[in-house]
Structure 1
Amino acid sequence: MRELVVLGTASQAPTRQRNHNGYVLRWDDEVILFDPGEGTQRQLLHTGVTATDLTRICVTHFHGDHCLGLPGTIQRLSLDRVPHPVAVHFPAGGAEYFARLRHATSFHETAELVVEPIEADGQRITVRGGTLEARRLRHSIETYGYRLVEPDGCRMLPERLSAYGIAGPAVGELLRVGHLDLAGRRVTRDEVSVTRPGQRFAFVMDTALCDAVYALAEDADLLVIESTFLESETALAAEAGHLTAAQAARVATESGVRKLVLTHFSQRYSDLRRFADEARRHFAGDLVIAEDLTTVPVPPRRVASAG
């Protein structure tokens, strides 16, 4: 199962309809919680995602709307006696903030947290199902976006396997070894398969437009990106270190994104249809205006055609 579960879509302040940030990515065996803002525990209850499901927590930066749910989430891991280690990633420069949030109140800590700060732009972390990469964004404090990349695989072509008389256990051997010797002829894996492109997920929160935004978004199957402001507030967005819906949509188009999820909306806007209208002027692909407590599937795999 690969899908995004949206917990909250507000920015600096929540509204009656939008909770503070929070996003869960289900990626096969990995269940990653991104930017747990206030109210994360309650939002998780509404979605059916449990603390026991979580394998990893990623924090982009230490502004309150992106991290004030950490104390409750961490305590819940211990309350529920989560049996597996849970990795936590955050900007290394915010280690003091993380330590304060982790022990904000008294509790009996039984969960095993594996604390792995992001210490460098471009840092890569091996996860189940791919590689998690962090890129330094342009905001008022140290901020990182995250990108999950699955390695390319291969798709065997039944008609070509049949033409060479390859079947049964021989197919598995061909996959493992890369070739088979048949009746004096070597058949390579490349002759009977095509590349199966790995999937890519990108998560971009508070930032002004910068090269890292494009690097994270490049060829993403699913891009979750802040669009705090509309284009009419472009100057304010730049001053505050944020993006507009138009900027986010142009990034998606120029980066080859398949599905674009806009979120992190300023409380000044009550009608989010304006974000959709603005984004559609710049992005012709699959567009989602995120809503609290909804689920967004990762698009099906890209399939390379046989040459």
Structure 2
Amino acid sequence: MKLLFLGTSAGRPTARRNVSSIALVFPEDQNRFWLFDAGEGTQHQLLKSKLKLGKLNRIFITHMHGDHLYGLPGILSSRTYYEGADKLELYGPPGLRAYVESVLLYSEAHLNYELGIHEIDGDGEAFDDGRFRIEAGELTHRVRSFGYRIEEHPRSGQLDLAYLTSRGVPPGPLYGKLKRGEDIVLQDGSVIRASMAVGPCVNGRIVTILGDTVKCERAATLAQHADVLVHEATFGIGLEEKAALYGHSTFLQAAETAAQAGAKRLIVSHISARYADEDVEALIGQAGAIFPNIEAAYDFKEVCI
């Protein structure tokens, strides 16, 4: 799977950065994807990518500020024009249902697909589809803001092809049974144990995507041992008091949270328009003293996980 950053600016768009939105893409599943936030213009950003709205099946909103939300009505309406678009699940804070239903009502928009709206009212599991478990955690911001921890369930180990060949197991459905942990019986009556043919389980991947927040313990908890942590960095180093006043974090605070959580990789986003590219590069260098594996997001940046 991979992350595609569709918008990385804080508060308002710039000529180079749109407002907040991130796609989590599953190339192995015909490029189906989930969205995390949908700031104004997100569907225009999608048109510049290879992603299609018909492949979108889940949207997670972190909080109700416009730079994370104003693109949602357009996405919901435009998705109607994609044949084969199935049910869309929408998750977010209290107030999300009223917002969506009001927009659809007063714009007289009609969706030709089923829309499920799930309001999150505290810490806990948002859903578990058997492959991924999504945990939501409330952060600290000027309005209720959530972070999401996407945790993949452990995957079955690799088949020992040399062993299977030596035992005369033909490729095909029997391989699938072994991968599912089922023992098999060959035509000659010999038994092949799954424990002998399949390697140990592989730990699933963990991605944490946080909404706007000051530095807080819940952010570090959601990011524990994450393969990738996406953390806002609205303000530069030295502006911690101003960041706290507006409910945001600095580059340095994002690095501190990643280090505290034991994350493997940190990508900072939601960057203020006051910072030019060279400023961002300098701030990354300074924060790297706390967490070396830090990088800045930019629009259309892809991150393989």
Task: Measure how far apart 1:109 and its partner are.
Answer: 2.4
Percent of pairs identical after alignment?
A: 31
Distance in 1, matches of 2:192 and 2:81, equals 58
Query: Where in structure 2 are the equivalents of 1:240-251 lying within 5 Å?
Result: 240-251=246-257
Tell me, yes or no, if the aligned pair for 2:125 and 2:133 is still in contact at 8 Å: no
Aligned to 1:275: 283
Secondary structure, counterpart of 2:235 in structure 1: coil
Letter in 1 for 2:16: Q
Query: Could you say what secondary structure the match of 1:277 adopts?
Result: helix
Q: 1:155 aligns with which of 153, 157, 165?
A: 157
Greater mean deviation of Cα atoms: 9-18 or 179-188: 179-188
Q: Structure 1 residues 40, 172: CA separation in 2 closer, same or farther (over 3 Å shift)?
A: closer
**Pairwise CA RMSD:** 2.8
- The question of whether the paired residues in 2 share the 8 Å contact of 1:51 and 1:82 is answered with no
Which residue pairs with 1:305 in the alignment? none
User: What is the CA–CA distance in structure 1 between the aligned matches of 2:178 and 2:257, rounded to whole Å?
Assistant: 40
> In 1, distance between residues paired with 2:184 and 2:295?
46
Cα contact 2:127–2:133 (8 A) shared by 1: yes
- Distance, in Å, in 1 between the alignment partners of 2:53 and 2:165 is 50
**Deviation (angstroms), 1:233:** 0.6
Aligned to 1:297: 304
How far apart are residue 237 of structure 1 and its match?
1.1
Preserved CA contact (<8 Å) 1:81 1:110:
no
Q: Once structures 1 and 2 are overlaid, which stretch shifts more, 173-182 or 222-231?
A: 173-182
Q: Contact 2:152–2:204 at 8 Å: present in 1 too?
A: yes
Give the number of aligned pairs. Answer: 296
* Paired amino acid for 1:17: R
1:210 matched to which residue of 2? 216
Shift of 1:144: 1.1
Instruction: Give structure 1 stretches of 5+ with no counterpart.
Output: 299-307
* Structure-2 residue corresponding to 1:302: none
Report the Cα distance in structure 2 between the residues aligned to 1:81 and 1:177, rounded to whole angstroms.
Answer: 38
CA distance in 2, matches of 1:19, 1:150: 29
Give, as a single letter, the amino acid of the residue that structure 1 aligns with 2:15. Answer: R
Q: How far did 1:155 drift? A: 1.8
Given the superposition, is the C-alpha separation of residues 239 and 160 from structure 1 closer, same or farther in structure 2, using an over 3 Å criterion? farther
For residue 200 of structure 1, what is the aligned residue in structure 2? Answer: 206
Amino acid at match of 2:263: V
C-alpha contact (below 8 Å) 2:97/2:117 kept by paired residues: no
For residues 185 and 94 of structure 1, do their structure 2 counterparts lie closer, same or farther at Cα, with a shift above 3 Å needed? Answer: closer
Instruction: Give CA deviations for 1:202-242 in whole Å, capped at 9, x if unaligned.
Output: 11120112222112211211221111112211111112221
How far has the Cα of 1:76 moved from its partner? Answer: 0.6
Whether the 8 Å contact between 1:223 and 1:261 is mirrored in structure 2 is: yes
Residues 279 and 85 of structure 1: is their aligned pair in 2 closer, same or farther, counting only changes over 3 Å? same
Give, as a single letter, the amino acid of the residue that structure 2 aligns with 1:284: P
Where does 1:76-225 land on structure 2 (aligned, <5 Å)? 76-103=78-105, 105-127=107-129, 129-156=131-158, 158=160, 161=163, 165=167, 167-168=169-170, 172-177=176-181, 189=195, 193-225=199-231
Instruction: Please state how far the C-alpha of 1:154 moved relative to its aligned partner.
Output: 3.1
1:124 Cα offset (Å): 3.0
Residue in 1 that maps onto 2:245:
239
SS in 1 for 2:156: strand
Q: Which amino acid in structure 1 is aligned with residue 152 of structure 2?
A: E
Which letter maps to 1:31?
F
Q: Show CA shifts across 1:167-191 (max 9, x none).
A: 4476654443466799999967289
User: 2:198, 2:111 → 1: CA distance?
Assistant: 53
Deviation at residue 12 of structure 1 after TM alignment? 1.0
Please report the TM-score for the alignment, with normalisation by the length of structure 2.
Answer: 0.86
Q: 1:163 to 1:31 in 2, by over 3 A?
A: closer
TM-score (normalised: structure 1) = 0.85
- In the superposition, relative to structure 1, how do residues 101 and 274 fare at CA in structure 2: closer, same or farther (>3 Å)? farther
Does the 8 Å contact 2:79/2:85 carry over to 1?
A: no
After TM superposition, give the deviation of residue 161 of structure 1 in Å: 4.3
The one-character-per-residue Cα deviations of 1:264-302 (angstroms, maximum 9, x if unpaired) are 0112222321331132111122x331111222222xxxx
